[in-house]
Amino acid sequence: MIVAIDGPAGSGKTTIAKLLSKKLNISYLDTGATYRALTLKALDEGIDLKDALHLTRLAAGLNLKFKGQKTYLDDKDVSEKIRTPLIDKNISIIVAYPEVREVMVALQRRIAKGGDFVVEGRDITTVVFPNAEFKFYLDADSTIRAERRFNELKAKGIKIGFKEMEKDLNKRDDADKKREVGALTLSKDATYIDTSKMAIEEVINEMLKYIRKGKK
């Protein structure tokens, strides 16, 4: 069983997907983490982010593993390093390359093959797992999403101004929705949930209602 979740940054996808996977007692996969890890690897190695061929080769040889809710790159835990503003600012460049996405989508499918997963990202319901048993699109007001992201970084001790945070998020939203391949779109058969005024538990309960109804 695949539960696919799409939506923009700050809509609550990651937190909700992790908790939902625990409720359902199945595995969790954050596809965004695969692109974040690739971005980190490229920056660490000083690769020109305009060099699509080099980035595609890097993606093909990526040593990436997931254990529980941790992300390991070259056997090192990079779960926190891939969630910094530096990665946020550069990831949109890398995810825009069709050849890079092709390699990464294949990787994501291999990870989830034959298993039960809650998978979240930007193109999960439309590209990665178009035949998923359950599809959801989580959304929220852009200001609320910026506040959530700002508070998340603040809690981690990462200093960034709110205006800069909001500008970066809006820029990423625009890039995600306009890219030629794997764009962020609302799948026709996905359940849309606006999380702006909902508590996390409310969102999870709403999703579980659809899942349990579908399993009967």
CATH number, residue 57: 3.40.50.300
Average pLDDT over every residue of 76-94:
92
In a domain, 110, yes or no: yes
Residue 159 in any domain: the answer is yes
pLDDT in tens, 116-156: 999 998 899 999 999 999 999 999 998 999 898 888 888 88
Count of domains for the chain = 1
| Res 198 pLDDT > 80 | yes
For residue 215, pLDDT beyond 70: no
Write out the residue range of the structural domain in which residue 27 sits.
2-205
Inter-helix orientation angle 31-44/52-60, to 10°: 120
| DSSP code string of 101-169 | HHHHHHHHHHHHTTS-EEEEESSIIIII-TT-SEEEEEE--HHHHHHHHHHHHHHTT----HHHHHHHH
Q: pLDDT at residue 206 above 50?
A: yes
* Dihedral (Cα; 77, 80, 86, 87), 10-degree rounding: 70
Residue 31 lies in a domain: yes
- For the entire predicted model, the pTM comes to 0.84
In a domain, 216, yes or no: no
Domain assignment present for residue 89? The answer is: yes
